[in-house]
Amino acid sequence: MKILDRGVVERAKARGLDALVYAPHFTRLERIVERAERYSDDELVVIPAREVFTGTWRQRRHVLALDLTDPVPDFIGLEAAFDEFARQDAVVLVPHPDFLTVSLDPSDVRRYRDAIHAVEVYNPKHWPRHNRAALALARSTDLPAFGSSYAHLPSTVGEVWTAFPDVEPTAEAVVEALRTGAPRTVEHRTGAAHRWRCTAEFLHLGYENSVKKFDRVVLQGTEPTHPAQSAYGGRFAVEGL
């Protein structure tokens, strides 16, 4: 999920989900953890995560990390991000591989294969050919698969999910299942409504990649997750600078 509120939680429950992974863009880890805790209850656990935006605007790569103990900023190099994930023994997932200009490509996945725990093979923003290519990549690298709604819009919640048989619906158990490559199936809804919701998520990319956001995020460097922010103590260098 990129969004989280009471409506999202109620929709997730209505669609039979036991757990959500909450990883909004450009949000500090401590805020994500606090919000995840606020919306977790006995029926649904919300697991905090960070989708780190590595590299420059033109050469960005998104990497999803769970079980982080320390904050990791955006706009650092891909190698630096993987080094930090390894230091923290984080669970590392590849969202929307080889998709447009925002993803790890096959060569990246092969380079960091031993540090990656799963590859996303179904994402609502994908066209069918992207899902087929992602599944082929997971198989060719012998990496486990996962799927997610990747919801930026409330209507997408519960459109795609990863089912783990015999795994307790707790944050610890889900993270461990991802870490150890536990058996799972990737499932999704079908039909015209599903296709419409997937199209809506794809069209949302236009908003995400607007000129306004380019100016605010890259040129001004004002995002809370920019390496220059005091929260990171000057430990990380901005990629390309």
For residue 177, give every residue at least 6 positions away whose Cβ sits within 8 Å of its Cβ, in sequence order, or none.
164, 167, 184
Backbone φ and ψ for 51, nearest 5 degrees, come out as: -95, 100
Determine the Cα angle at 240 with ends 66 and 75, to 5°.
Answer: 25
For residue 149, give every residue at least 6 positions away whose Cβ sits within 8 Å of its Cβ, in sequence order, or none.
1, 124, 156, 157, 158, 159, 160, 161
* Domains along the sequence of the chain with CATH: 6-232 (3.20.20.140)
**Is this structure's pTM higher than 0.85?**
yes
| Per-residue tokens: 77 | 């190099």
Which pLDDT tens digits describe the chain residue by residue (241 residues)? 999 999 999 999 999 999 999 999 999 999 999 999 999 999 999 999 999 999 887 778 999 999 999 999 999 999 999 999 999 999 999 999 988 767 899 999 999 999 999 999 999 999 899 999 999 999 999 999 999 999 999 999 999 999 999 999 999 999 999 999 999 999 999 999 999 999 999 888 766 665 445 555 555 567 899 999 988 989 998 887 5
Q: Which of 126, 41, 194, 236 has its CA nearest to residue 134?
A: 126
